[in-house]
Every structure is written in structure tokens, then in C-alpha cells.
A and B are shown apart, each in its own frame.
Chain A
Amino acid sequence: MMESADSKFRLVKMDDTASEHINAPKYSYWAAVFKKFLSKKSTIVIMVIALTVIFLSVFDPIISGYDPVVHQNINNASMKFLHPSLKYLFGTNDLGDNLWNVVWMGARNSLGIAFMATAITTTLGVVVGAVWGYSKSMDKWMLEIYNIVANVPFTLVVFVLMYVMGRGIWQLIFAMSVTSWLNTAYFIRVQVLIIRDREYNLASRCLGTSTWNIVKNNILPYLISVIVTSVSRDVPSFISMEVFLAWLGIGVGEKTPSLGKTISGNRTFMTNTPYLFWIPVAVSAVITISLYVAGQSLADAADPRTHM
């Protein structure tokens, strides 16, 4: 090595631009979200459970031909109170119906109600909350309104509304949305306040960007993670709310099946045929938890800080 050693001691010209190159592969936000989301095995398992649940809720009512109004086996005593078996996975109920079908139809309605209420709450909450957080003048009077309204117990309001409007799916969705959207708006407002005066927003103002464009391009993308979190909490929370309200005898109409109605209706069977009560409870729990966890994982993955 000594023979050519001296040649190695000659000065080498430096490439000025070499150090400016970025060697890492190009970054794409959604690709990174996807990758982060699927990185943990537990997340994939939960996702599968959540998707299965949704799948069953959507398709079982269609293929089973279960009719919640006309109970086919209502006069057939041998079909009633059958314990869970391979043929009837969830067993049958007091009316001779296959609990499996009852549960999934109820789940479909409960999920439908929850998603609908969430959609309304989130849209309204985000739009109002974003402007609320960004506009200092709006903040002043909106905060006063919020402080008063937020102190009214929501249960009371829902009761009153349902009492006035009567039972039914749309009445329920309305009541739940009306009492929840302000909370979402407040939550979004807080997040917007945090980033409102960050330097990159000040820079946009210096460059003459309109308020609308600042909200659209600077603030909303930052809020994606936050919005996903909010949705992932709202859906399970609305499902639970429906169950709770059904227990109290209000909520969906007489003829509409729902998880809450099933659970509430089956509580008299807790002593003799407990499966009729506990199975819908378990299904409700599985739906709630799996949606919540999957949503939280997605929210985490959507936060660009976790991509580094």
C-alpha cells in the first residue's frame, strides 16, 4: 500500500453541489400513511375485525331475507329459545328468529345511524371550528355561546328533543348531531388556535394569500390527523349512545331493529337464556372497540410527525 500512498495525499477538488443532493426516495404523504398504518400486526388484525363486522352488517340482512316485521317462526315453539349451536351460531330468540340475523340487521341500522350522525357532526364541526379558530373576531362571541351551551347536559336535550319529535331514525340522528357538533367545533377550534400563528401561516399572510386559501392549504391538511381522531371517537360513541337511549326506551321507532333495541329488549332473558342478552352486548362491544382502535391507528398514521 505504500507505493501509491503518496498519490493518495494529493488534494482533491470538492464538488459543491454534491452535498445539496437528497438521496432519500421521494416522499408521498398518503403512501407514508398507508405504510405506517399497516406496520403493526395488531392494527391489521383489528382492521380485519372491523371490516368483517361492517361486511356482515351490510350483507347479512340482504342474503338472509330476515323480515323484522313478519316473524316467520312466531307460532313454531320448537324454534324458540334455541341455544347457540353450529346451525344457529347465535341461537334463536323468543320470537323464533335467528339471533344472528337480528343482530346483524340491528347492527346495520346502528352503524348507519352512527355514521350518519358522525358525518353531519364532523362536517359542521370542522367547517365552523376552522373559521372559529382562525377568526379572532368570531372567537370572541362564539366562545360566549359555547360556554353557555356546553354546560347544558346533553342527555336532557336529547330526551326533550326525542319527546317532542317522537321516535325514529332521523329524529335520533338529528338529536345526536345537534348535541355533538358544537363539541367537535370546539375541539377543531383549539387545534386551529395552536397552528394559527405559526410562522408558516404568517408567511402566507405576508405573501397575500387569502384567508380561505390559508384555511384550505395550510390548516386543513394539518387537521387531517385530528379529524380522523375525532371521527374514530364519534362513531363508537354514537353507537353506545344509541344503546343507552334504547335502554331508556327512546331512540329508533317500534318497527326498526337496532342493537340497542335488541339488547334492551332481551334484558328480561338474562336469567334463563342469558345468551340472548350477552351476545348482542358482545357484538356491540366488538364493533365499538374495533372501530375505535382502527380509527386511532389511522389518526396516528396520518400525523406527519410519525413518518420521520
Chain B
Amino acid sequence: MSEMSRTVQTPSADGREVLLSVRDLAVTFYQGRKEFKAVSDVNFDVYKGETFALVGESGSGKTTIGRAIIRINPTSAGDVIFQGKKINQKLSKEDNRWVIRNIQMVFQDPAASLNERATVDYIVSEGLTNFHLYKDEEERKKKVVDALESVGLLQEHASRYPHEFSGGQRQRIGIARAMIMEPTLLIADEPISALDVSIRAQVLNLLNQFKAEKGLTQIFIAHDLSVVRYISDRIAVIHKGRIVELATTEELFRNCLHPYTQSLMSAIPLPDPQIEKEKKLKVYDEAMHDYTTDKPSFQEIKPGHFIWANSAEMEKYRSEIR
């Protein structure tokens, strides 16, 4: 029953290797003297080869966490530990290069994530050229073609400009750009939210294919729990900068305990008229928590299932578990 906010998951619990560890992460933004706590007390591990989902609504801080991991946003407190090394600090040139090669990101908006005035060839090989990861021009060209074909595009596309492509194709160019670096960790920041419904499946299939073929570990950031159910192994639900619940996908869908997660679950529209019409909506009211005296923390209620609660609430949840 001890509070385990420092060591969240024991790494060798089931022999799985931890690739990334986030401990007590906090990100605060400043505007003059005003400060805005975007993210606080975030703790989670990501195992090698899994797809870990960060789910939250807009403004919840999920994108901030992703950007903090890949070092675009600076962190205010806490640690981001990748393969045993703390990376949210000033790094040597060698280490910086190592991080960039191993952690890559796919962005949300296919319209804004590509340089309109550069050819696809330049865009996809940008990372390669920065670190000169090829012998000669011929090898570079080959790598570009391989990357394009691995996402279902054609060699002839290399000399074209982004605006000549559709949204789905542009998103795939973005994926090729990240994957050409052969990263071990891919952070996908809402990669399908801006795409048409029938194109989303293409991108999801691609990501799963990379996971199966290359053992790629992924952090999938989304606002849609139903998509995340299909693609992820474990899910962390974020509300106002805090992880309120974390569990494996099956466990979360079977046993979600935190009222916010429950309201999120009940709000997802399912594509089945009969079920939808009989559904009851749960509304989350933040005021239901009384944290004045009994302070909350991130606690493990079942092996692998964590929840943000104070001791009184923990009692209540324990009685609700199936």
C-alpha cells in the first residue's frame, strides 16, 4: 500500500526491457511573470517494442509531453531517461547525435509539417544529410527511394513538391522522413487526426507494419480512445497535465476506474446505431475530488494499473475492481 510515485514500474517485472523512462516530469510555460503548468507529476515507462498511447483532450498536455521527450520543449523538473541515459539536459555533440538518430517524430498536420519550397527528396533525406549517414550520392538516393517505397510511395515522387500530394500521401512522406533515420523510438503526435477517415487506416497499418517488421517502439499521442484501442498495448489517460490512469489496453477498457476515464469512454461514439441509441453519457465533474487534506498521488492499484487518487478514493476504487 505504499505510495510508489518514484519508481513506477519495476523494469524486470516481466523481463521486458525499458526503453524510455519518464520520472516526475513537469513542464511549465512562462509569459512574463505568469506561469502555466502544462504538465506535472508525469511518470511512466515505455517498454521496447510496444506501442504506448498518451490520450487526452485538447490542452491536456499530451503534445507537450511528446515534445519534451524529443527535446523540442525544455522541461522544468523531472527526468527523461532513454536507454539509461538522462536526455532532458544539455548533451554533448555525440550524445545529441545519438538521441536524434534514435528518437524521431511524426507530426499532426500534413499541411504544415513539410517544407513547401523543398522537394520530397530534400525533405526525406534532411536527417541523413545532417549527419552524412551515407557513403556517396548514389547510396543517399537509394536510401530515399527505399524509404519512399516502404511507405507506399513511388520513386518518381522524389522530385515533386509537397503541395502536389494529397493529405494521406504527405503524412506518409513525413513518416518516411522519420523512418529513414532508423529510430528505435517513434513519437507519433496525433498522426491521423487531420486525415480523412478512409486514409487513416493506411497510416495505422503502416505504423503497425513497422512495429512488426522492425520492432519499432512507439508513443502514440491521440485524443480518440477508440483508435488507441486498436493500435496500442498500454494507455495513459491525461487530464490537465496529469496522468490520471495508466494500464494495458484490455485492462483499461475492462476496468477503468478514474471518473475522467469513464466519462471519456462513455463519450466515444461507436459506429453501431443500436448500441449508440441505448448508451448513457457520463459527465466528469472535477469538483467531485476533495484534495484539501487528503493529497493524491500516482498509485498502483493492480499490477500494471495505476491511478491518480488520494487514499480515500483508492479505497473506493478497490471496491469497484472486477
* Contact flag (A, B; Cβ within 8 A): yes
Contact across chains for B126 and A202 when beta carbons are under 8 A apart: no
Contact across chains for A218 and B115 when beta carbons are under 8 A apart: yes
Contact across chains for A202 and B72 when beta carbons are under 8 A apart: yes
Contact across chains for B117 and A221 when beta carbons are under 8 A apart: yes
**A25 → chain B, closest Cβ, in Å?**
10
**A258 → chain B, closest Cβ, in Å?**
40
Other-chain contact of A26, B67, B152, B160, B174 (Cβ < 8 Å): B160
Contacts of A24 in B (CB 8 A): 164
User: Given known contacts A22-B165, A207-B181, is B130 in contact with A217 (CB within 8 Å)?
Assistant: no
CB of B157 closer than 8 Å to a CB of A: yes
**Which positions 192-247 of chain A face chain B at CB distance < 8 Å?**
198-200, 202-210, 213, 217-218, 221-222
Contact mask for chain B residues 143-175; partner A; CB cutoff 8 A; 1 contact, 0 none: 000000000111011011101110001000010
Contact across chains for A206 and B163 when beta carbons are under 8 A apart: no
CA distance A29 to B165 in the complex (A): 16
Bin chain A's interface residue count. Answer: 20 to 34
Report the count of interface residues on B (CB-CB < 8 A): 38
User: Given known contacts A20-B152, A206-B72, is B115 in contact with A217 (CB within 8 Å)?
Assistant: yes
CB of B242 closer than 8 Å to a CB of A: no
CB of B118 closer than 8 Å to a CB of A: yes
Contacts of B115 in A (CB 8 A): 200, 204, 217-218
Contact mask for chain A residues 64-97; partner B; CB cutoff 8 A; 1 contact, 0 none: 0000000000000000000000000000000000
Contacts of A221 in B (CB 8 A): 117-118
Contact mask for chain B residues 96-121; partner A; CB cutoff 8 A; 1 contact, 0 none: 11001000110111001111111000
**B219 → chain A, closest Cβ, in Å?**
14
Contact across chains for B112 and A198 when beta carbons are under 8 A apart: yes
List 17 additional A-B contacts (Cβ < 8 Å) besides A208-B97, A208-B131, A217-B118: A21-B156, A22-B160, A24-B164, A199-B107, A199-B112, A200-B112, A200-B115, A200-B116, A204-B115, A204-B126, A207-B104, A208-B96, A208-B130, A217-B115, A221-B117, A222-B116, A307-B163
CB of A265 closer than 8 Å to a CB of B: no
16 contacts between A and B (CB under 8 A): A21-B154, A22-B160, A22-B165, A27-B164, A203-B107, A203-B113, A206-B70, A206-B72, A206-B104, A206-B105, A208-B97, A209-B130, A213-B130, A218-B115, A304-B116, A307-B163
Contacts of B107 in A (CB 8 A): 199, 202-203
Contacts of A1 in B (CB 8 A): none
Closest A residue, CB atoms, query B116:
A304
Contact across chains for B113 and A199 when beta carbons are under 8 A apart: yes
CA distance A222 to B126 in the complex (A): 18
8 A-B pairs with the lowest CB-CB distances in the bound complex, closest first: A207-B127, A221-B117, A199-B113, A208-B100, A199-B107, A208-B130, A199-B112, A200-B115
